[in-house]
């Protein structure tokens, strides 16, 4: 797809104003913008920018919006996929509800829910913290007390909140207070964010059933909290499993292996220390 100069300059300008753009990235982007505005050939300047960004891109270490732009100038298909945030709305208040679940990296939380009948939309984002409109760097650095989470809009005629909870418990390790599987840190805690008293009762019943099942030998630490503002994550993170299927499959496979390992470990009773003579 051929990039239009006016479109590129517009994106560069927006990235320069974007609070999530790191200073080093901002410097490279500004150099490109000034060179193009001064008459430099767009194709040549983008090639220079691509070379500058490539080392960080190869390590998946660009900020999300810059990563999207990098994929676009590389003409990678995923760089041209934009999540339609306007479709993530309750359009039928009588028959639709929201559910918010945090259970580790939101990349692995979208597909299981999105492929379930009755799901209208699944949005990755940040919630539970103090800062408004946090960036990925702020959340991943543990500076805001947010967790990565998914907000689900579902049709109550086709799937119930209790059924979503049943799926949720299958995706997490509810005994881990310091993250989820390979995702370590407070931003990966497992938390159920309820919208109202009805959801709270259903969630507490589901948690009680998990505890009573005896499946886990360690305490269940998954929290149940009243929902707080949910801030959408950057476009790069939305529907990640569709945009970068190979990378997603590797992450999903590692997570599934850890889920199986944890399941086996929890079936082994903890050894009680022998009493001292």
What band does 261 get if pLDDT is binned at 50, 70 and 90? low
H or E element that contains 190: strand 190-194
Residues 179-221 have pLDDT tens digits of: 888 789 999 999 999 999 999 999 999 999 999 998 888 999 9
Q: Within 10 Å of residue 121's Cβ, how many Cβ atoms?
A: 20
Please check whether residues 102 and 201 belong to one and the same domain.
yes
Please check whether residues 102 and 229 belong to one and the same domain.
yes
In a domain, 202, yes or no: yes
**One-character DSSP codes across 205-269:** HHHHHHHHTT--SS----EEEE---EEEPPGGGTTHHHHSHHHHHHHHHHHHHHHHHHHHHHHSP
H or E element that contains 101: strand 96-103
In a domain, 108, yes or no: yes
Q: Strand pairing of 230-232 and 119-127? A: antiparallel
Q: Between 14 and 179, whose confidence is greater?
A: 14
The CATH number covering residue 151 comes to: 3.30.1060.10
What band does 256 get if pLDDT is binned at 50, 70 and 90? confident
User: Which is catalytic among the residues 56, 71, 102, 105?
Assistant: 105
Residue 69 three-state SS: helix
Please check whether residues 106 and 161 belong to one and the same domain.
yes
Which of 42, 57, 80 represents a domain boundary (last residue)?
80
Rounded to two decimals, the pTM is 0.88
Please check whether residues 206 and 155 belong to one and the same domain.
yes
In a domain, 264, yes or no: no
> Distance between CA 33 and CA 43 in Å, rounded?
12
In a domain, 254, yes or no: no
Please check whether residues 92 and 174 belong to one and the same domain.
yes
Question: 94 is written with which tokens?
Answer: 């009588």
Please check whether residues 28 and 130 belong to one and the same domain.
no
Count CA within 13 A, CB hemisphere, residue 74.
Answer: 17
- Does the pLDDT of residue 275 top 60, yes or no? no
H or E element that contains 123: strand 119-127
Question: 239 is written with which tokens?
Answer: 């529907």
Please check whether residues 148 and 234 belong to one and the same domain.
yes
In this predicted structure, what is the pLDDT of residue 263? 63
Q: With b meaning 16 or more CB within 10 Å and e meaning fewer, what string describes 95-114?
A: ebbbbbbbbbbbbbbbbbbb
Q: How many domains does the chain have?
A: 2
Contact 115, 159 (CB under 8 A): no
Mean pLDDT across 78-102: 92
Q: Within 10 Å of residue 220's Cβ, how many Cβ atoms?
A: 16
Q: Minimum mean pLDDT among 13-27, 149-163, 236-250: which range? A: 236-250
Please check whether residues 69 and 95 belong to one and the same domain.
no
Please check whether residues 67 and 110 belong to one and the same domain.
no
Asked about 105 being catalytic, the answer comes back as yes
What band does 272 get if pLDDT is binned at 50, 70 and 90? very low
Strand order, beta sheet including 96-103: 223-226, 190-194, 96-103, 147-155, 119-127, 230-232
Which of 80, 107, 142 represents a domain boundary (last residue)?
80
Please check whether residues 70 and 89 belong to one and the same domain.
no
User: By residue range, what is the domain housing residue 185?
Assistant: 85-239
Residues 24-40 have pLDDT tens digits of: 999 999 999 999 999 99
In a domain, 113, yes or no: yes
What band does 266 get if pLDDT is binned at 50, 70 and 90? low
Which of 80, 110, 128 represents a domain boundary (last residue)?
80
Which residue from 242, 245, 247, 201 is spatially nearest to 224, judged by alpha carbons?
Answer: 201
């Amino acid at each position: 797809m051929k990039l239009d100069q006016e479109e590129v300059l517009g994106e560069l300008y927006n990235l320069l104003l974007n609070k999530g753009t790191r200073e080093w990235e901002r410097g490279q982007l500004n150099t490109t913008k000034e060179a193009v505005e001064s008459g430099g050939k767009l194709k040549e300047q983008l090639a220079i920018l691509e070379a500058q960004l490539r080392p960080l891109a190869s390590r998946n270490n660009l900020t999300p919006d810059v990563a999207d732009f990098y994929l676009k100038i590389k003409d990678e298909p995923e760089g041209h996929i934009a999540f339609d945030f306007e479709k993530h709305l309750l359009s039928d208040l009588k028959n639709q509800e929201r559910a918010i679940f945090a259970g580790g990296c939101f990349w692995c939380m979208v597909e299981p829910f999105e492929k379930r009948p009755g799901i209208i939309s699944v949005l990755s984002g940040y919630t539970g913290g103090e800062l408004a409109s946090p960036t990925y760097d702020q959340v991943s650095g543990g500076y805001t007390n947010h967790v990565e989470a998914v907000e689900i809009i579902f049709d109550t005629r086709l799937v119930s909140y209790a059924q979503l909870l049943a799926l949720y418990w299958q995706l997490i390790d509810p005994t881990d207070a310091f993250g989820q599987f390979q995702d370590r840190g407070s931003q990966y805690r497992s938390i159920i964010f309820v919208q109202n008293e009805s959801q709270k009762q259903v969630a507490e019943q589901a948690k009680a059933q998990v505890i009573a099942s005896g499946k886990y030998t360690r305490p269940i630490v998954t929290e149940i909290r009243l929902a707080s503002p949910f801030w959408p994550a950057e476009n790069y993170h939305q529907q990640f499993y569709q945009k970068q299927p190979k990378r997603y499959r590797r992450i999903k496979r590692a997570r599934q292996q850890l889920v199986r390992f944890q399941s086996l470990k929890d079936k082994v009773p903890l050894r009680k220390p022998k009493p001292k003579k």
